Amino acid sequence: MRKFNSSILVILSVLIILFVVMRLFMIPPTFGEFGWYRGESVREIANQSHKFADTYRCFECHIKEYAYWEVGGHSTVECESCHGALKAHTINPEEYKGYGEFLSPNTYPSIQAFCLSCHSESTSKPESFPQVKVSHTKYWNCTTCHNPHYPEVER
């Protein structure tokens, strides 16, 4: 019985020493600088470049879309909520064309799918939010009747 106990003690102390040594090598140097995480990660995230421009930047070159958008039913939806992060585009529109960005209409199978991603009828949405059944339009593109930058139908 005594023998058994002491061999367990030896194994335990070896494990503890191994743990302490491995811990020394495996914990990143800045861990715990601010809290229970790698301090360096804060600086890494802070150093990332901005991907979004700002809606007022679009005005410089897309005055027509902006002028409609500003007074229309989509004025609460930022340009980049529909067209994706476009900072690179505002700096160099020739190289970064402004379509194909994540979220942009071109990344959906159709304009219908794009509009319905926000407007399809659902009981989970507030009643005041404008919603349509998919059957609202079967054969027509949403943009045949609605200007995306001024969506209310003019009659």
Chain residues in the site for ligand HEC (CB under 6 A): 53, 55, 57-58, 60-62, 65-66, 69, 73-74, 76-77, 79-83, 86, 89-90, 93, 97-99, 105, 111-112, 114-119, 128-130, 132, 136-137, 140, 142-146, 148-149, 151-153
* Rounded least distance, CB 133 to ligand HEC, Å: 9
* Rounded least distance, CB 121 to ligand HEC, Å: 9
Closer residue to ligand HEC in complex, CB, 34/129: 129
Closer residue to ligand HEC in complex, CB, 33/54: 54
Q: 16-35 b/e with 16+ CB inside 10 Å = b?
A: eeeeeeeeeeeeeeeeeeee
Tokens linked to 72: 């229309």
* Rounded least distance, CB 46 to ligand HEC, Å: 23
Closer residue to ligand HEC in complex, CB, 31/108: 108
* Rounded least distance, CB 145 to ligand HEC, Å: 3
Q: Is 46 exposed, middle or buried (0-12, 13-18, 19+ CB in 10 A)?
A: exposed
Closer residue to ligand HEC in complex, CB, 30/90: 90
* Rounded least distance, CB 66 to ligand HEC, Å: 4
Closer residue to ligand HEC in complex, CB, 19/140: 140
Place of tokens 């909520």: 81
